[in-house]
Amino acid sequence: MPRPPKAPGERLAIDDVMAHERTLTDEDLRKILEESANGDAARQALRARADSQRRSDRVSTDAAMPVGERSTERERALTDERSREDSALDRERVVADEELDRRHDELALALRRLLMAERDANDLRMRDERATSDARLAMRDEFLAMVCHDLRSLLAAVAMRASLMSREQQRDGGGAAKHHGGDAIQRVVARMNLLIGDLLDVVAMESGRFAVDTQARPLAAVLEEAAHELMPSAKARDVALVLHPSDGACWALVDVHRIQQVLANLIGNAVKFTPAGGHVDLTVTEYAQEVVLEVSDTGPGIPAGKEHEVFERFTQLDPDAHVGLGLGLFICKNIVEAHSGRIWVERREGGGSRFMFSVPATDARPAP
């Protein structure tokens, strides 16, 4: 069963921004409600000052009352009147407090409901937009896969016809030019097949369907095999391909076909960008439970600040070359990460680049 699509980096960034904004909104709401609740303390302080002033006024009134007007009955009546005033004021304050508390609770409830309704609407709209986007991407990927499949079928027919032409010309004693033409067609077909393979790999990686079939393998032997396959290309460019011996077999759980794909891309780039008379060094070492493979060249090197950019889609080391789609290093990065490894590039002292990738080492060995 295919895995669900991976969340693109843009979506993860949007989710992080939304989560941050919601945290800020919750904090603002909390402050609003706290300020509303803090109004109770301010109200109590005002009431305390009013009560103090009222008591002070009463004391002043009592002190200003002429002695001849004072009597027990008069003081009792004044006390009763003031007690009734105090009771009436307390009842009014209780009613006012209940009304304010009710309004505060209604405000808090209304703000929370409004906030949740707005968030639910945003989430629903975003889910709909993402579902539509996923459906369109799935349709695009399906269409691309169908087109690539049809193209491969056509290219297979072209390659077969070119092979038959070469055989017929050899049998009939055809000219070297005609024979060279058949070989040229086969080379172009091979390049087109590689481009189609890269496109299919990218579709699988972005849709979450990319997987590797790992087995315990000695990476020293894998690197040696890759070096032997690319040795003719290096010799044709007058570039020395130097395979340095390793201290051991350097075993790891890998998909050999995919690791060979990574090595072919890295070594091919190194040979292509190394001037005649230069050299490309290949090493494999085991360090800290990792097997590290390195492809080092004496070419112009990676421009400063571009060490991460070169692993992005459609990025070409030499834009003027107009070769390929700029997907090679992006595919390498995804293959290595599918092995729970990492890939990076460093500038080499004296010029050139050092492309390195690592995969976890293993003690496992295949059964005899």
DSSP 141-156: HHHHHHHHHHHHHHHH
Query: Residue 193's domain spans which residues?
Result: 76-210
Percent of the chain with pLDDT over 90: 28
pTM: 0.57
Write down the pLDDT at residue 4.
43
Binned at pLDDT 50, 70 and 90, residue 2 comes out as very low
Judgement on whether residues 219 and 350 belong to the same structural domain of the protein: yes
CATH number at residue 292: 3.30.565.10
Write down the pLDDT at residue 57.
79
Judgement on whether residues 162 and 240 belong to the same structural domain of the protein: no
Write down the pLDDT at residue 322.
47
In this prediction, residues 343-365 reach a mean pLDDT of: 91
Distance CA 169, CA 160 (A): 14
Residue 12 lies in a domain: no
Question: Which residues partner with 361 through β-bridges?
Answer: 252
How many helices (H) and strands (E) the chain has is answered by 6, 7
Please state which of the ranges 107-111, 260-264, 336-340 shows the lowest mean pLDDT.
107-111
Residue 69 lies in a domain: no
Judgement on whether residues 330 and 228 belong to the same structural domain of the protein: yes
Question: Which residues partner with 293 through β-bridges?
Answer: 284, 357
Judgement on whether residues 142 and 257 belong to the same structural domain of the protein: no
Residue 38 lies in a domain: no
Judgement on whether residues 128 and 235 belong to the same structural domain of the protein: no
Contact in structure between 299 and 278 (CB atoms under 8 Å): yes
Q: Of 210, 231, 255, which closes a domain? A: 210
Asked if residue 244 has pLDDT above 50, the reply is: yes
pLDDT tens for each residue of 23-41: 878 887 777 777 666 666 7
Distance CA 120, CA 272 (A): 54
DSSP 4-53: PPPPPHHHHHHHHHHHHHHHHHHHHHHHHHHHHHHHHHHHHHHHHHHHHH
Binned at pLDDT 50, 70 and 90, residue 291 comes out as very high
Judgement on whether residues 149 and 81 belong to the same structural domain of the protein: yes
Total Cβ atoms within 10 A of residue 263: 24
Residue matched to tokens 């299919």? 200
Contact in structure between 48 and 93 (CB atoms under 8 Å): no
Judgement on whether residues 91 and 133 belong to the same structural domain of the protein: yes
Judgement on whether residues 226 and 112 belong to the same structural domain of the protein: no
Q: Of 178, 194, 210, which closes a domain? A: 210
Binned at pLDDT 50, 70 and 90, residue 256 comes out as very high
In this prediction, residues 68-94 reach a mean pLDDT of: 82
Out of 45-59, 143-157, 296-310, the most confident range is 296-310
Distance CA 112, CA 108 (A): 6
Residue 278 lies in a domain: yes
Judgement on whether residues 152 and 255 belong to the same structural domain of the protein: no
Residue 192 lies in a domain: yes
Q: For residue 241, give the H/E element and its range.
A: strand 240-243
Task: Give the amino acid at 22.
Answer: R
Asked if residue 63 has pLDDT above 80, the reply is: no
Judgement on whether residues 231 and 350 belong to the same structural domain of the protein: yes
pLDDT tens for each residue of 202-215: 777 877 778 889 99
Q: Which residue has the higher pLDDT, 30 or 365?
A: 365
pLDDT tens for each residue of 197-243: 777 787 778 777 788 899 999 999 999 999 999 999 999 999 999 99
Judgement on whether residues 176 and 277 belong to the same structural domain of the protein: no
Contact in structure between 295 and 242 (CB atoms under 8 Å): no
**Residue 251: which of 225, 228, 223, 227 has the closest Cα?**
223
Write down the pLDDT at residue 297.
95
The number of residues in the chain equals: 368
Judgement on whether residues 185 and 206 belong to the same structural domain of the protein: yes
The pair phi, psi for residue 248, each rounded to 5°, is -160, -170
Distance CA 180, CA 99 (A): 97
Residue 351 lies in a domain: yes
Residue 61 lies in a domain: no
Q: For residue 130, give the H/E element and its range.
A: helix 72-172
Please state which of the ranges 115-119, 248-252, 267-271, 315-319 shows the lowest mean pLDDT.
315-319
> What's the domain count of the chain?
2
Residue 46 lies in a domain: no
Q: Of 155, 185, 210, which closes a domain? A: 210
Which are the contacts of 336, defined by CB distance < 8 A and separation ≥ 6? 262, 342, 343, 357, 358, 359
Looking at beta carbons, which pairs linking 60-67 to residues 24 or more positions away fall under 8 Å?
Answer: none
Contact in structure between 332 and 343 (CB atoms under 8 Å): yes
